[in-house]
Amino acid sequence: MDIFDLIWNVSQERQLEELRSRFDRERLEHDLSCGDHVRELVEENLELKLRLGLLVRLLIAKGVFTAQEYAALIAKTRPRGPRQVSGA
């Protein structure tokens, strides 16, 4: 393992710990403010976000695509103006 790999691993571990901390904080905040059914949905949503973030990081690390390519793809899929409510 060279120094670059070591630095990369430390960086990834730090980012994962940050994600875990955010996940735990958000779960606690929502636990205090939501009913049981909503809390379950919030926890499931947070878990999916965490897994998606980890998957994207892995794909970038494996060279499947770059962070810039991913960001550009996300930017393309976002709506360009204020959202309009249908049926109003």
Q: How confident is the model over 16-41, as pLDDT tens digits?
A: 888 888 888 887 776 666 667 777 88
Share of the chain above pLDDT 70, in %: 82
Give the residue among 56, 53, 45 at the shortest CA–CA distance from 18: 53
pTM: 0.52
What is the structure's pLDDT at 6? Answer: 76
Q: How confident is the model over 55-67, as pLDDT tens digits?
A: 999 999 999 999 9
Q: How confident is the model over 75-85, as pLDDT tens digits?
A: 899 887 665 55
What is the structure's pLDDT at 88? Answer: 40
What is the structure's pLDDT at 28? Answer: 74
Distance (Å, rounded) from C-alpha 2 to C-alpha 45?
Answer: 37
Distance (Å, rounded) from C-alpha 64 to C-alpha 54?
Answer: 14
What is the structure's pLDDT at 64? Answer: 94
Cβ-contact 56, 70 below 8 angstroms: yes
